[in-house]
Structure formats: structure tokens, C-alpha cells
Chains A and B, each alone.
Chain A
Amino acid sequence: MTMVAKDGVTTPKLIIDGLSKRYGDVTALEPTQLNVPTGEFLTLLGPSGSGKTTLLQMICGLVEPSSGRILVDGRDQTQTPVYRRDIGLVFQHYALFPHLTVAENIEFPLRMRALPAAELKQRVKDALAMVQLDHLAARFPRELSGGQQQRVALARSFVYQPSIILMDEPLGALDKKLREHMQIEIKQLHRETGATIIYVTHDQEEALALSDRICLMNHARIEQLGTPHEIYAKPATAFAADFIGISNIFRGQVDTSSGGEIRLSTRHGSFRLPSGATSVGKEAAIVVRPEQITLGSDKGNTVMGRVMDTVYAGSETRLIVDLDEGETLIVRLPPGHPVPAFGERAALGWNPDAAVLVP
């Protein structure tokens, strides 16, 4: 895995060592290995039930692991109760204390740490300024809008400078516009404070926008770990390709053609594979992103189909093409490119090296 090379010298902030969780017969998380370097923004991404929230809750101590260890700054924290872990947690529904004002909510963790009054005041003030809520310090949470409440929750988790800040779908309850705005604010907070952040979401766009690295999870285990670009450009599995971005996936069997070339036989025909492909005789699939496909048959691999729909999306136009052998293909045409008419037959091709072979 790449992260060892990336952070080989210093101890990682967080080491997840063989951590697992079972509820009776149900496995919520298979034994998992994960290192998070200091200052990284790591996103746990996956569909519901993939184990990401379980992993998060074990890191902060709300759920007891069935096996494995959690090390923060090299110290074993597995048996440490929640309130002694020094971890920040931002909840999906904010979990602001309704009986305390904004300022009192933010000073709560400082009081628990018995900070001197003067320092406490200053820190609350700084935290309020950081999220631009100075003018609302004396309000109660229910008097604030959803976005403001989320800012209070953020300030409350940053104010005591915990070694790791966990965020459990913190923007899930906000509408799209506000969500995008808050993403920028969270990114700024991360830059300004240098905090190590582990962020849970099921929204792939959010993960791509925010993360230093994405930890893609599925079926209670890690599917792929890497930077957003790595995961988008080189998905390790068909699931990864399908979950992040839009993908066209052709399944088939790897075999050798008469010319000695390794190809993938699918029901849409036999396709050339990216150079360096091996694993002859196995079931496999190739992933082609919509922007890699062009109209015409001059790129090496070609399929035929009928244009069923065109979707204009401003910066691009998407074609939905029904292939002759069933299934649909999505093609992304750059602006200004001539768009074929509805029902028109079209040949579509791609460069074999632009596709990714996945097991």
C-alpha cells in the first residue's frame, strides 16, 4: 500500500491494528489494518452497512472492538473510555446540548478539562471567530439555522485541539447548496488547524472534494485505499469503479487471441486490454470512464449501439446509448461537439490503454 512509502519515518497519528467487530453472527467490520499520518484528511467512504460508521465509533470509543488495537501517537487506546480519549466527534445531527447556549456548548469540553477561566474565555472567543458566529454566542441551538448549528458543532470539536477529529456524515442533514459551502469551510478549518480528520460519508462527490486520501469500504472491509485521483483513475475493483464516478463496465473472460495477444471476451465482442495485462483464463472486467469514449471506430476497441437519450448538463453533454447486445453505455461529449440525434446508430470507441482491468 502506498501510505507506508508516503509516511515511512514518523509514527502515524492513528494506527488501526487488526480491528474487527462482530454482533453475534453479523460481522460489522472484518479485521482491518489502517494507518493515518498526522494532519491527514482521510475519508471513510462506502454504502450504508459497509462498516464505516462502526470503524469510526470504535476509534472514538463508543463501540467496543471484538479484536484488534487502536493506537494514537503510538499509545494503545483500545481500553481507554470515550471521555479520556481526547478525540473530537462531530455528529450527523450535531448533538448540540439544547439547554446550553452556543458559547456554553463550545466551552463544555474546556470545562471538562478544567482550563483556567481566562484561557477558557479566549479559546471560546477564538473558536467562535473561526466559524464566524461571534454575534450568536448567547443564543440557544434551536434558535440557529441548520448550517449555523453545524458550525457550532465544528467549533466545539476543534476548540480543545483533540489529537484526532472524527466526523460522522456531518453535512448529511443540509441541502446541496449549503453542503457545498460547508465543505469549503471544513477544508479551510483543516488547513488552518492542521488537525487530523477522519470523515465518514456515503457521498462520493464529497469524498473526492475533501480528502487527502479515501478509504473505500464495502461489505465490512476496506475495498481500496488511496488518493482521490488514484481511486478514480485506477479503481482496484469493479465496485470501486462503480461507486466513484460514472463507469462503463464490460465483464468477460481473459483469453489469448490467435495472434498471441491477451484480450477480454465479452458478449459485446472481444476487446484489447491495457498493456501489461495478464491473468489469462480468469473472469475480469474492464472499466471505461464516459470521458474516454468517443464517437467513431478509430480507437482500437469499438461497440455499436443506438442513441436513446441525450442529457445536456451545461459543461458537457451525456449520451445514453443502448448497445446492440443489451446494457447501456454512458458517453461524455465535450462542449461544442456535434450531438447525434435520438435513435441514430453510432459506433463508439476507446483507446485500450485508457481503460482499467479489474478482477
Chain B
Amino acid sequence: MNTKGIAGMTATTASALSPRQRYFRPNALWLAAPGLAFLAVFFLFPVLRLLALSVQNPASGAFSLESYARIANTDVYLQVLGITFKIAGNTAIFSILLGYPLAYWLAGLRDGLRERMVLLVMVPFWTSYLVKTFAWMVVLGRTGVINNMLTGSGLASQPFPLVYNEFGVMVGMVHAMIPLAVLTMMPIMIGIDRRLIQAAQALGAAPAQSFWLVYFKLSLPGVTAGGLLVFISSLGFFIVPALLGGRRETMLAQLIITQVQELLNWAFAGALAAMMLVAALVTCWLYDRLFGLSSLSGGETSAQNGGSGRLRLIGLAILRVIAKASAMLADVVRKVIGTRGAQLLLPIYCALALAFLVLPTLLVIPIGFTSSQFLEFPPPGYSMQWFETYFSSPVWLSATLRSFGVAAATALCATLIGGLAALALARSSTRWGGVIFATFLAPLIVPRIIIAVGLFYLFAQIGLVATDMGLVIGHTVLALPFAFVTITAILKNYDWRLDQAAAVLGANRVKTLFLVTVPLVKGGLVAAFLFAFITSFDELTIAIFVSGGIKTTLPKQMWDDMILQLNPTLAAVSVVVFVIVTVLLLLAERFRRTA
């Protein structure tokens, strides 16, 4: 092409495009369109309609606050609401308190070692809630591992009531949520410049003082973000309270399930779900006012100054008092157990915390191979009989196959839609970037039970209940954030000059994508696929509503069995689920890192 041609062409692009043409010019941002449309139809619409339903009269459809009046006037419902907030709040507090030292320790390790140790948090994070809860039922039960040890050794004359009460629920919830708290706090802590600690000490701050005045203050965005995520996730919990709690630990999500499944009272279920959603949104709003939402994604916010004016100064003054006190405490501790001993405290605590996270689940493995008819530990003998029962049962087998199929389809959809959206955000600089990012993360923040009920209502109208298609759509909504975030992270490190090089060498956009970009980021794509697969594979909430009758999935079948009666087959199934999920997770982590 001669120079005149090029000059002429630039002139046309610059002048001849009408505003309309410019608007529809192919822009990378359009790649996010399928995902946004999908989320609008299967996430935003059902959730918003659920909110609308709660203020409608079920018969006439007119505006009515009847459902809310019923909640306000019924002691039981108010109690459940109170219990839900209390349990979610306590879970958040304990998860942060117990998780902080672990996250601190992990953040301080050198990269290679940390990557390996984090797996000890990642595995419990991704392990199915059902498997984890099943493990606690076995450990804490009346004839469970702990009570057997206590009575067997003569330390206690009769078993302690460790389960079907608040204690059991808190153990199960905190165990389930510590990984989320740690994985949210850790990246913020890794980002803290260690030289600031050195600077503080060179300026005369004792280690305890430099921790509180500098490190802790800078880690606060992670602490609050972790607390927020744990609180909101806990609001929608039902597996743990249903299986480890008693009647007095009934939480909101259980009430919603009863209203939908047994009483078919949509308006009331909507009102309950709306309350939960409002609670979640109010928490997010408060969080945003206090700390700024963008600190969730690690962005720089006003949180780094900790708000403004007087509040900030009071905060700093409080920190100084705490710093002074703990510096004195640290001196005393060092005098009592020596400097060496004091340095060992953190690793010892972290070893115990990791054991708490990992051991209960591992306990299930030997029980799956028991020769006994009961869930005893240690097993009196070993046999394959429960695996035989599992593999020869048509119900279990078909449920397993369905879960595999649905998970594969879900993973494909989520990776495709999420990958396009991630590409769109990586390739275009738009002021809508933040909104789009938040939209794709939203299914992670809205409690699953709300999405599930909303989808059930929608699917009932368009005939998708009890279909594999319905399951895949629902699971894709939940898996999308994981796929999206994984691919976004990979694309962040991608060198876009390679694409420019390909373009200069004559490849068009599609060829560039498939011959250069995709081959280079395929590790990330595989990781995204696997994360989405796992999300679907052990998903229960949507399955409870959408997989009716014989079209059941593996988690749904486990849930039904666990509610009816615990049996060693469940242990065998748990082993299978645990092994599959762990293997896929380790693979995904491997692909993610090599990408």
C-alpha cells in the first residue's frame, strides 16, 4: 500500500463515521455482551422479581406489605431472623480472629513455600460443604470421635452434647468460613511493603508496635473485606445449621426452603429472601460508606487513610494504645518463654489451625473403607463393601453421571462467557469497567439461596424445572464469577504487544485470538474450566430446587440421605467427591500457575 492510500484511509475513518456508525463500531467491550445478557436474564431479573413478589398480594398481585407484616407479627420468624444475624455475625468475627494469624503467617512465607502451604487452605475451601459437614457429624456426634475418646479414656462419664446445638453450628460454620476469610485477607497482606515494617523498627518501633501501627492498619481493608464476605455468605447458610444445629439454630435459608418446597408459599418465601438480600445489601452499603467497595478488588481507596478527620485520629490513637500494651505484653512473654519460644508461637498456632481445617475431612476416608455397619472411628476393620454399595446403586450412579454431565456443560459455558467478558475488560478502557466487573462478581456476593429461589420461580414458568438445562443455567450463574476472575487475572499478565505484533505481521483479530492469545493463556482457561466444574459438581442449593424427582445430582442425593439417616455409604460417597474435587483443584492450581 502506498502512503497516499494510507493517508486517504485514515482520513475516511476520522471523518466519514457518523455518530451512529461510531457507536456500533466493533469494540472489544461488546464481547462482554453475552455474559451481561445472560446475567440480566438469569440473575438480575429473577432476584429483582423475588423482591417485587415480596410486596405483592399473592392472589391479586396488588402492592401489599402483608408478608412483611406477617414476619413482624410472628415471634418465630423474628427469632429466626435474630438467630441468622447472630450466627452470621459470630461466624464472621471468629473466622477473622482465627484466620488472621494464619493469613499473616502465609503472607510472610517466601513465594514458593507459600504456594504449597496455601493449598492446605484451598483444599478445605473447595471441599464440598456436605462432605465437611458430614465429617463434623462423625467427629462431634454423640457416639462420635471426640466423645468416644473422652468416654473411652475415662475423662468423661457420659458423652458431651457437641452437636445439634449452637456449639455444633459454630464449629461447622467457622470451619467452613475460615478459608474464605484467609484467602480474602492474604492478598492484601502480601501487598504490604515489608520495608515499611523495617522502616518502623529503624525509627524505634518495637516489633509489636510496628505490627499494630503499620502492618495491621494496612491490612484492615483485607480484614473488613473478609468479614463482609463471610458475613454475607453465612447469612444464606442452611447445610450446617440443618445438620449440626437443633431447632433453636434454624436459620433464614432453612425457613425459605420450607416455605417453597413444603408450603409453596411464594410471596412469603420472597419476603424472607428479600429480607436476607436487604440485609446483605445494607451490609455492603455500610461497608462502602466506611471503607469503600473497591478495596474488595484490592484497589486503592480512602480506606488507606481509614476515612477522614476525627474518626481516623481516634482510630490511630486506639491503635497506639493497643500497640503500647502489646509491646509490653510481648516483653513479658519473651521473658517467660524466651525469644526462641516466642518466635515459635505463630508457627505452632498455624499448624494447629491448618490441622483443624484439614483433619476432619481426612477422617472420612478411613470411615469410607469400614467393615462396620456403623460410622465408627477408628473402623473395626476395612472392606470395600460401601464402595460396592455405591457403585451398584442405580440411584447413586445416575446422580453421579448427571453431576459430571452438568458440571462439564456448566464449565464450558462459564469459561466461554466469562472468558469473553474478561477479554472485553482487558482490551477496552471504559468508565463502565468497574460496573461490569462488579456485575460479574455479583453472583458471588448475593446469597445462593436467593438466586436459587428466584431461578426456581422463573424456571417453573418456562418449564425448566427438573431439567438438566435448568441446572446448567443455574450453575453457570454461580460458576461465572470464578471463571471470570481466573481469566481476568491471567490476562492481566498477558503481553498485549504480542497481539500487536501478530496484527502487524498480517493476522486479523480472530486469527490473532486463536493463533496467539488463546494458546498463550490456555493454562488460565483450563484453570477457569476446572474451577467452574468444581463449583457445579458440588453445588447443592440450586439443585435442591431445580433437580426434582429422579433427576437428582450427587450433592442433592447426599443431602437427602444425610437428612434421612447417616450411613457408611455416605462416607464412601464423600471420599469419592473429596478425591475428585481435590484432584481437579490441584490440577486447576497447577494450570493457573503455569499460565
Report if B363 contacts A (CB, 8 A): no
CB distance from A243 to the nearest CB of B (A): 28
Q: Are B204 and A109 in contact (CB under 8 A)?
A: yes
| Contact residues in B for A89 (Cβ distance below 8 Å) | 198-199, 202-203
Q: Which of A335-350 contact B (CB under 8 A)?
A: none
**Which residues of A sit under 8 angstroms from B320, Cβ to Cβ?**
111
Q: Answer yes or no: B200 CB below 8 A from chain A CBs.
A: yes
Closest to A86 in B: B204
Q: Which of A91, A98, A104, A112 contacts B204 (CB 8 A)?
A: A112
Say if the beta carbon of A235 comes within 8 Å of chain B: no
Chain A residue at minimum C-beta to C-beta distance from B300: A142
Question: A176 interface residue, CB < 8 Å from B?
Answer: no
A95 sits at the interface (CB 8 A): yes
Question: How far apart are the CA atoms of A142 and B304 in the complex, in Å?
Answer: 11
B201 interface hit (Cβ, 8 Å): yes
A58 at the interface (CB under 8 A from B): no
Q: Does B322 contact A (CB under 8 A)?
A: no
Complex: A142 Cα to B206 Cα, angstroms: 26
- Are B305 and A99 in contact, with the CB atoms below 8 A? yes
Contact partners of B200 in chain A: CB under 8 A: 97, 108
Bound: A112/B202 CA distance, A: 11
In the complex, what distance in Å separates the CA atom of A112 from the CA atom of B207?
12
Distance from B466 Cβ to chain A, minimum over Cβ atoms (Å)? 54
Contact A82 B202 (CB under 8 A): yes
- Using known A-B contacts A97-B214, A99-B218, determine if residue A160 contacts B203 with beta carbons closer than 8 Å: yes
Interface centre among B201, B206, B210 (most CB of A within 10 A): B201
Q: Counting CB contacts under 8 A, is B217 at the interface?
A: yes
Q: Which of B195, B217, B305 contacts A95 (CB 8 A)?
A: B195
Q: What separation, in Å, do the CA atoms of A97 and B195 have in the docked complex?
A: 10
Contact in complex: B199, A113 (CB < 8 Å)? no
Query: CB distance A91 to B207 under 8 Å?
Result: no
Residues of B within 8 Å of A160, CB to CB, are 203-204
| CB <8 Å contact, A156 and B203 | yes
Contacting pair B204 A83 (CB below 8 A): yes
Our pick among B209, B213, B304 for the contact of A98 (Cβ within 8 Å) is: B304
**In B147-169, which residues have CB < 8 Å from any A CB?**
none
Interface size on B, residues (CB 8 A): 25
Q: Is the CB of A83 within 8 A of B202?
A: yes
Chain B residues within 8 Å of A87, by CB: 202
A97 touches B196 (CB 8 A): yes
Question: Considering only CB atoms, which chain A residue lies closest to B303 in the complex?
Answer: A99
B193 within 8 A of A: yes
1/0 contact string of A81-104 vs chain B (CB within 8 Å)? 111111111010101011110001
Q: How far is the CA of A89 from the CA of B203 in the complex (A)?
A: 8
Give the interface residue-count category, chain A: 20 to 34
B195:A91 contact, CB within 8 angstroms:
yes
> What's the nearest-Cβ distance from chain A to residue B233, in Å?
28
**Given A98-B304, A99-B304, CB of A88 within 8 Å of CB of B202:** yes
B306 at the interface (CB under 8 A from A): yes
Hey, which chain B residues are within 8 Å of A93, CB to CB?
Answer: 193, 195
Per-position binary interface string of chain A over residues 110-151, scored 1 when its CB falls under 8 Å from any chain B CB and 0 otherwise: 011100000000000000000000000000101000000000
Q: Given A95-B193, A95-B196, A97-B196, do A112 and B305 touch, yes or no (CB 8 Å)?
A: no
Q: Are A91 and B201 within 8 A (Cβ)?
A: no
The reply on B71 being an interface residue by CB < 8 A is no
A184 at the interface (CB under 8 A from B): no
Kindly identify, within residues 211 to 258 of chain A, every residue whose CB is under 8 Å from any CB belonging to chain B: none
* Max count, chain B CB within 10 A of own CB: residue among A104, A111, A156, A157: A111
Docked complex Cα distance between A108 and B210 (Å): 10
B206 touches A83 (CB 8 A): yes
Q: Which of A83, A85, A140 has the most CB of B within 10 A?
A: A83
Known interface pairs A99-B304, A99-B306, A111-B320. Does A91 touch B206 (Cβ–Cβ under 8 Å)? Answer: no
Contacts A83-B206, A112-B209, A140-B305 given: A95-B199 contact, CB under 8 Å?
yes
In the assembled complex, the CB of A60 is this many whole angstroms from the nearest CB of chain B, namely: 6
CB distance from B299 to the nearest CB of A (A): 13
Tell me, yes or no, whether A62 is within 8 Å of chain B by CB.
yes
A49–B301 CA distance with the chains assembled, in angstroms = 38
- Select from chain B the residue with minimum beta-carbon distance to A92: B195
Give 1 or 0 for each of A48-92: 1 = CB within 8 Å of chain B CB: 000000000000111000000000000000000111111111010
Q: Is the C-beta of B52 less than 8 angstroms from some C-beta in chain A?
A: no
Residues of B within 8 A of A83 (CB): 201-207, 209-210
Whether the Cβ atoms of A109 and B306 lie closer than 8 Å is: no
Cβ contact within 8 Å between B218 and A98? yes
Across the interface, which residues of B come within 8 angstroms of A109, CB to CB? 203-204
Contacts of B196 in A (CB 8 A): 95, 97-98
Residue of A nearest to B306 (CB): A99
> B205, A112: Cβ atoms under 8 Å?
yes
Interface string of B304-320 (1 = CB under 8 A from A): 11100000000010001
Q: How far is the CB of B352 from chain A (nearest CB, A)?
A: 28
B197 to chain A: closest CB distance in Å?
Answer: 9
Minimal beta-carbon separation of A102 from chain B (angstroms): 12
The residues of A that contact B199 with a CB separation of less than 8 Å are 89, 91, 95, 97
* Least distance between A62 CB and chain B CB atoms (Å): 6
**B204 contacts A62, C-beta separation under 8 Å:** no
Residues of A near B203 (CB, < 8 A) are 83, 88-89, 108-109, 112, 156-157, 160
- Which residues of A from 25 to 69 have beta carbons under 8 Å from B? 60-62
A sample of 14 inter-chain contacts (CB < 8 A) reads A60-B202, A61-B202, A81-B207, A83-B209, A84-B204, A85-B202, A87-B202, A88-B202, A89-B202, A91-B198, A95-B199, A99-B217, A108-B200, A142-B300
Could you list 13 further interchain pairs (A-B, Cβ under 8 angstroms) beyond the known A82-B201, A156-B203? Answer: A61-B202, A62-B201, A81-B201, A89-B198, A89-B202, A91-B198, A93-B195, A97-B200, A99-B217, A108-B213, A113-B204, A142-B300, A157-B203
